[in-house]
Structure 1
């Protein structure tokens, strides 16, 4: 029994240890997670999780921190997401969501507001009350109207001038009186300005005797006017009681109240005073004729009533102001059309189609032109004024190679010859053998009529025209492929040029800007297309090639005529080569740029031309920078070779790293200048190429440390120190150091790595100016938390099975 308990505890302990080890490894891995070590699939999985949780790219910092990514690695992670094109998915999701919300709200507001708005704007005259630039405010600077009646609150200005001069500004009291100093009260309420002047003058004459004798005069004017209360009722947008200036008219009152409503009449607006209708205002008088004479001045306690409309009809189509119009009982369709400004120039006036609502259904009514003046209207009628047909009764068209192409009128018995004469004849480029007439048959299906242009002009062929005939006369150049010739090679402007008759080889060379300095005059080739009428299966000839030598005494170049589609090749002279330059810099006597004087010039020759090395030069550290690609074809060839290599790489970061190194314009080429100078012309002494740059440094005295070292730094070079001595001088290897992959880059670009002898590492020798690199180990992926729990549970289950078996055996 004790052994059984001990065995179960042993398995449980193993499971716990595994779980703890996996958990600690997972935490350690998360804490050391680097963006460069993530594969493309892991980055895509991270972006997919962000999309599901609606996390935008702008919140990547917080989300990455929650996932255990250090803050220093977030910019690199963002670059990885952008390089894979996944940032568009995160930003597009936000844009789509915002667009859907905005589209719904806008569509909802437009749907709810558009019908009412459309209906208001379609009623003729309704826009008058929506115009912010039109206020209908009464003009208070006008002379006092003669028929204006004074009331409580008005200011009366009394001017006495002549032998006696005095001015009084008096307000009418609530009882209707004005109080004149030295005279007393005078009742003026309800009096017109004229009546008030007579009464006031009569009373003033009692104290001013000059008034009767004619030496003193009295003038009565209106100062500040009073306010009145007016009630607006009926079918109006904002009915109610309004306080207006006493000079306000019916139009002013309508404007401040918003005008007639949807069902309000524009033509039956009543002014009620003391229970009686004293005036009926028609807004159409103002809208159509600009007449406001019926807009009377309102008085206090007046009522403006807007009645419902009686008859409304709609006009649309070819009228100048399509809208819904209100008609009075005796008005006809002709009067409504005049309200709409009349017909447009494109209107068809013979018939007007009307849609009318009867007792049960709709019906169509056709109104002829003679019926329009007397046609009686019915509310709800809709009149459509159509336009004239887009057809011509006598049109013929001529196009192509004539001097004045265009549209002409078809005259009786007009022939094609007459039409060509009206177009001032055919041009010099016209093809005279054949022309075409596009004609419509009786069923309006198209047909073509061909003719001989020359015979028509000479009168040998007579073709009568019909309406809508379209004549086309083609040009010679339009019926054939455009002729051209091509010149390539050593000319200043190679390319394709238009061909002309009697064009010679020298002419084409001149068009191409002349020959280049490198052109060979003894080997000019002209390639020509074979034009044979018959087919011969045994003939394998594909083109005709003719060579010319401009240096020859019997030169026939000036006599050789080109043909369409000829191709001329001017080749490069075999002995011609452009100057090539190289650069040597650093510790030489004469550094600078040198021209290569021989195809077999070596590095050692260039050093000698530069005066040799200086005493403090360090030839072991000299480097050579050489162009990556000599020609464009080299670049294309290498790109094709690398395409297969890129397809084998799975990680985008690896592909980008390789591409970046390939696309450099210059690459480092390691040389051994010390061996070159000891043995000129040896295998180390390379030939020079165009663009080479040789750099000779001074004596180097340090060694640089990089990678998984506790304190990377520069260390003074000492010939007695080994590789491990330099490592120990920088703090030693870190726990993540991959020692067996350590390598050294020497000053001249040469690289040596660590080798393995049995179980020991053999490190390379350290030289002055060397750089020591210690790479890091790859992070091994451990078990996840769920996997560790599953493994521990499995081990515990196995332990129980073993215990059960042991019990069964006993």
Structure 2
């Protein structure tokens, strides 16, 4: 019931806020005339604050608002504006002009922006990166509770609420006189007081007017709803000047706005001046090294941050985790400097540090030993160079070869060969025990080899068990190191011919199984070539190898007697004398049974295959028979291997090869069927090869005319007409046509060209189904005027020479 009363009074106050001040809205009782569009952003903010102070949501307030006459449409608008306020859309201005922001608690803070530019000049100075990062600005968090020691002043705004039996809610600014004015209560001076003390004073003043507050039936809540802006001055920063910042801002926040110390500014002795006195010395290194923010105090009105110039800086380079330029205070040592640089890295030489110092006239070099780190006080301008440790070991020893764990081991004084072998978990089975080797580094850095009798060492001979030294490398040989890698070669009719490793007692049967067995074409004959070994040379013996002939059973990959091979044997499995798979040719075109036919014998001729195909049909053109024979890769390789003695720029060979590979996939063999039928021994009755194709064309009475003619067409064949007739029938030769080089392609693949003798031309005969082709004239380069003049000059000179000679 109490919450319902609160909501009722809240909306009763809210919906007339655009007619009067918030303090007067309590008297309104009718919400039917409310127009949410007429409410200001400040009114919406007050409504949100009232909801929060009464611990209610807008959804919980909806039934009461509708019961008091507010329309559902207006309430939806109100809800939308309250939600937009929560997402920060209220009080937003154009980009770059925002003067404040409202957080989730409703508290308003002045927004302070400062564009950061990466400092390349001071990039090596330790701490400069703190002020270059725009995401690190030390901005005070307004969502936190107001500090109890926060001092109020003009510009702050308090949210004062009375809830319980009596209700009151208002946002009251602190005036320039330092007072707040509460309706029916009067003015209360709060400037200079902490928020905690001001709260008690306000509660006491309200209790004198509101009787229920004094009796405890109503409660008073005071919170900070708007934080004032204060003015400070920063001197010595990268961007010095006067700044207006939040009264909750701290020293680090102000330094970040000013871009940090300037080029020569100190990071260790920053002065916070308050009331014309140094209030605090700020050392940024305490925060950077330890994370200590004790120097990050809250600022007050008219505070001055003075950044003096540094007293001394030193440089640290080399193998530290954070090299750079560091500022040192009086009395600090190299150990402190090393802490600023985060210590040595894992490769640093730490026994001593080299420092370059400055005198009044020149530089000097000093070495600081490890025991002086805590006593040496760096001087202004010192440059410390941390070098790397040496790439060497003080107690390393190595064993390699036929041991179970070859590796580097630590060396100790008095260590012997047997001790190192024991650390390596002993010798392998293949260890060569007659000799071991030690490569030793001498005092002058040259190496020597020390031989060890390993068998004596294993027998316990102390004399043979040599004492080792630092950086010795012990090698235990393996008997396998002295064994030659033997091979055998198998070729011929096996699945995987090639070279294979030889092992002791390797038999021919074992090798045949290893290579996948014999092929189906393998014969029983096997020839083995074996190298001849002899300590004496016999020039009378012409044999280079020993040949061994064997027989095997090809069906089961075995031989009757198991033949043992020797290193470098070469085995050849011979092919059967007769083992040929059936191969086919193709017959297409005007035959009775076109299709593929197997070559029945090695000299199968055209006539036999055509007859097996049922002979020619009635429409077959006997003058149009030919064989298409595929061009083999061997033929292309032969052309590529021929040296045509052409110039470097001549591409004839490449063009010919490309045409064979991509265009001319078949060679054409013309046939004369009429002569084949009369004489089976005629040269046209050629022997066929596998994959040949016999093509029998169908009789066609047309003659094709193509090339550089006016019209590419097909003209009916006329027996008595020659080439000129057909050329005229298609409109003649065009301007680019070369008539005297015209040629005829006959249906069987032959061709004939135009020939000439003296002034007479002989044109090729035209037959049915043939094709007339008129090629293009070659381009001729015309002589320029200069060339004609040059020729004329030559003739003139010759004429003058002749006339002179006959005078």
Short-chain TM bin: 0.7 to 0.9
Name the structure 1 match of 2:507.
Answer: 504
Deviates more, 1:323-332 or 1:473-482: 473-482
Residue 675 (structure 1) shift? 3.2
Name the structure 2 match of 1:87.
Answer: none
Pair 651,285 (structure 1): closer, same or farther in 2 beyond 3 Å: closer
Secondary structure of the 2:261 match is coil
Residue 170 (structure 1) shift? 0.7
Distance in 2 (CA, whole Å) between partners of 1:728 and 1:459 is: 114
Residue 557 (structure 1) shift? 6.5
Name the structure 2 match of 1:201.
Answer: 203
Question: Which deviations, in whole Å up to 9, do the C-alpha atoms of 1:68-103 show, x marking residues without a partner?
Answer: xxxxxxxxxxxxxxxxxxxxxxxxxxxxxxxxxxxx
Residue 411 (structure 1) shift? 3.2
Pair 791,263 (structure 1): closer, same or farther in 2 beyond 3 Å: farther
Question: Which deviations, in whole Å up to 9, do the C-alpha atoms of 1:398-449 show, x marking residues without a partner?
Answer: 1111111112222332221222222222222333343321110111111122
Deviates more, 1:579-588 or 1:700-709: 700-709
Secondary structure of the 2:421 match is helix
Pair 297,687 (structure 1): closer, same or farther in 2 beyond 3 Å: same
Pair 206,551 (structure 1): closer, same or farther in 2 beyond 3 Å: closer
Name the structure 2 match of 1:323.
Answer: 324
Name the structure 2 match of 1:660.
Answer: 658
Q: 2:480 aligns with which of 477, 480, 486?
A: 477
Pair 651,730 (structure 1): closer, same or farther in 2 beyond 3 Å: farther
Name the structure 1 match of 2:101.
Answer: none
Distance in 2 (CA, whole Å) between partners of 1:789 and 1:136 is: 92
Residue 727 (structure 1) shift? 0.9
Give yes or no for the alignment of 1:590 onto 2:593: yes
Question: Which deviations, in whole Å up to 9, do the C-alpha atoms of 1:760-795 show, x marking residues without a partner?
Answer: 210111112212122233222222355457678x69
Distance in 1 (CA, whole Å) between partners of 2:451 and 2:794 is: 97
Name the structure 1 match of 2:128.
Answer: 126
Correspondence list, 1:63-78, <5 A = none
Residue 539 (structure 1) shift? 4.1
Residue 564 (structure 1) shift? 1.7
Correspondence list, 1:609-624, <5 A = 609-624=612-627
Distance in 1 (CA, whole Å) between partners of 2:626 and 2:275 is: 115
Q: Is the 8 A contact 1:396 1:409 kept in 2?
A: yes
Q: Is the 8 A contact 1:506 1:557 kept in 2?
A: no
Question: Which deviations, in whole Å up to 9, do the C-alpha atoms of 1:520-555 show, x marking residues without a partner?
Answer: 212x11122222223344443322222212259xx9
Question: Which deviations, in whole Å up to 9, do the C-alpha atoms of 1:552-608 show, x marking residues without a partner?
Answer: 9xx976432212222111121121122211111122222212211100111111111
Decide which structure has the larger Cα Rg and report it.
Answer: 2
Q: Is the 8 A contact 2:509 2:559 kept in 1?
A: no
Q: Is the 8 A contact 1:504 1:558 kept in 2?
A: no
Name the structure 2 match of 1:725.
Answer: 725
Pair 169,674 (structure 1): closer, same or farther in 2 beyond 3 Å: farther
Residue 284 (structure 1) shift? 1.2
Secondary structure of the 2:457 match is helix
Pair 158,408 (structure 1): closer, same or farther in 2 beyond 3 Å: same
Deviates more, 1:457-466 or 1:725-734: 457-466
Deviates more, 1:781-790 or 1:556-565: 781-790
Pair 750,284 (structure 1): closer, same or farther in 2 beyond 3 Å: same
Q: 1:550 aligns with which of 536, 549, 552?
A: 552
Q: Is the 8 A contact 1:548 1:557 kept in 2?
A: no
Name the structure 1 match of 2:186.
Answer: 184
Q: Is the 8 A contact 2:639 2:657 kept in 1?
A: no
Name the structure 2 match of 1:43.
Answer: none
Distance in 2 (CA, whole Å) between partners of 1:551 and 1:572 is: 13
Name the structure 1 match of 2:673.
Answer: 673
Secondary structure of the 1:219 match is strand
Pair 282,701 (structure 1): closer, same or farther in 2 beyond 3 Å: farther
Name the structure 1 match of 2:606.
Answer: 603
Pair 610,117 (structure 1): closer, same or farther in 2 beyond 3 Å: farther
Structure 2 unaligned regions, length at least 5: 1-117
Pair 315,504 (structure 1): closer, same or farther in 2 beyond 3 Å: same
Pair 149,558 (structure 1): closer, same or farther in 2 beyond 3 Å: farther
Pair 132,720 (structure 1): closer, same or farther in 2 beyond 3 Å: farther
Q: Is the 8 A contact 1:709 1:774 kept in 2?
A: yes
Secondary structure of the 1:367 match is strand
Deviates more, 1:526-535 or 1:649-658: 649-658
Pair 534,245 (structure 1): closer, same or farther in 2 beyond 3 Å: farther
Distance in 1 (CA, whole Å) between partners of 2:223 and 2:573 is: 105
TM-score normalised over the length of structure 1:
0.78
Question: Which deviations, in whole Å up to 9, do the C-alpha atoms of 1:720-765 show, x marking residues without a partner?
Answer: 3211101111222234433332211111110111121331210111
Q: Is the 8 A contact 2:489 2:568 kept in 1?
A: yes
Pair 445,563 (structure 1): closer, same or farther in 2 beyond 3 Å: same
Q: Is the 8 A contact 1:625 1:666 kept in 2?
A: yes
Pair 452,677 (structure 1): closer, same or farther in 2 beyond 3 Å: farther
Distance in 2 (CA, whole Å) between partners of 1:484 and 1:457 is: 35
Question: Which deviations, in whole Å up to 9, do the C-alpha atoms of 1:149-191 show, x marking residues without a partner?
Answer: 2223211112334554422211123333322111222232333
Name the structure 1 match of 2:348.
Answer: 347
Name the structure 2 match of 1:771.
Answer: 771
Deviates more, 1:288-297 or 1:498-507: 288-297
Q: Is the 8 A contact 1:741 1:754 kept in 2?
A: yes
Name the structure 1 match of 2:149.
Answer: 147
Pair 260,797 (structure 1): closer, same or farther in 2 beyond 3 Å: farther
Name the structure 1 match of 2:100.
Answer: none
Secondary structure of the 1:287 match is helix
Q: Is the 8 A contact 2:697 2:747 kept in 1?
A: no
Question: Which deviations, in whole Å up to 9, do the C-alpha atoms of 1:380-402 show, x marking residues without a partner?
Answer: 21222334333322221111111
Which structure would you say has the larger RCO, counting Cα contacts within 8 Å and 6 or more residues apart?
Answer: 1
Deviates more, 1:502-511 or 1:364-373: 364-373
Q: Is the 8 A contact 2:636 2:657 kept in 1?
A: no
Distance in 2 (CA, whole Å) between partners of 1:477 and 1:785 is: 86
Q: Is the 8 A contact 1:603 1:688 kept in 2?
A: yes
Secondary structure of the 1:267 match is coil
Pair 759,481 (structure 1): closer, same or farther in 2 beyond 3 Å: farther
Q: Is the 8 A contact 2:433 2:455 kept in 1?
A: yes
Secondary structure of the 1:426 match is coil
Name the structure 1 match of 2:387.
Answer: 386
Q: Is the 8 A contact 1:437 1:450 kept in 2?
A: yes
Name the structure 1 match of 2:277.
Answer: 276
